[in-house]
Amino acid sequence: MHSQPAIIFDLGKVLVDFDYSIAAKKIAARSEKAPEDLHAFLGSSPLLVDYESGRLTRQTFYEAIRNAISFRGDLAEFGGYFADIFSEMPGTIALHTELRQRGFKTFIFSNTNDLAIEHVQRDFPFFKNFDGYIYSYEVGAMKPLPEIYSAMEKMCGRNGADLIYLDDRAENIAAGAARGWRAILHESPEKSRQELVKLGVL
């Protein structure tokens, strides 16, 4: 084992909250669809999976959505609406700050896309303070596929119990635990703090 474990954070619903209904309202107003139809369409569309798996670029994702819903704006307008859905989760951000102060290396591990990351980088200063970032659209595989977990292990130079991992989705946690990572299902900052105390890192 390394002397110090690295600590891996999921992004969505752990460090930042998101709400596709905000984007759905703005995009719907410039399309032929009702906001409620678009909400389901954006958040669970196979197109989003393709985009976040790196099989669609920002441009081809935009074109596919534009054609599907008759969106009337350009890519810049679409991208502005699509990515403006995030808000900080201060409790977990404070946990992260504390771990950094104790000298732990920390990493971001996210199923995401380049429009979202550009927005989060621009708007949230906390996001700069990590040692590395693994994004599904760059790796070409989403959690819980094994390829993205190996990419994380390679980036940290650690594996197994030298990795502590927080994520809000049970299937992602299970895939980490199956590789020997010390995985915490994130439900609230308070609960995650208790788990980090048990693991001796806080």
Q: Which residues bind Mg ion (CB under 5 A)?
A: 10, 12-13, 168
Which CB, 123 or 168, lies closer to Mg ion?
A: 168
Give every strand in the sheet of 6-9, ordered side by side. Answer: 132-135, 106-110, 6-9, 163-167, 182-185
Q: At what angle do helices 75-83 and 58-69 cross, to 10 degrees?
A: 90
Which CB, 37 or 168, lies closer to Mg ion?
A: 168
Which CB, 47 or 142, lies closer to Mg ion?
A: 142
Neighbour-count burial for 109-141, b at 16+ CB within 10 Å, e otherwise: bbbbbbbbbebbeeeeebbeebeebbbbbebeb
Minimum distance from CB of 133 to Mg ion (Å)? 15
Minimum distance from CB of 1 to Mg ion (Å)? 27
Minimum distance from CB of 51 to Mg ion (Å)? 17
Which CB, 65 or 166, lies closer to Mg ion?
A: 166
CA distance 199 to 179: 17
Minimum distance from CB of 13 to Mg ion (Å)? 4
State which amino acid sits at residue 172. N
Query: Which residue number has the CB closest to Mg ion?
Result: 12
Minimum distance from CB of 110 to Mg ion (Å)? 8
Listed residue (32, 19, 23, 17) closest to 80, CA to CA: 23
Which CB, 9 or 61, lies closer to Mg ion?
A: 9
For 155, residues 6+ apart whose C-beta sits below 8 A from its C-beta are 107, 132, 134
Minimum distance from CB of 69 to Mg ion (Å)? 26
- On the CB side of 182, CA atoms within 13 Å amount to 17
Which CB, 13 or 30, lies closer to Mg ion?
A: 13
For 73, residues 6+ apart whose C-beta sits below 8 A from its C-beta are 30
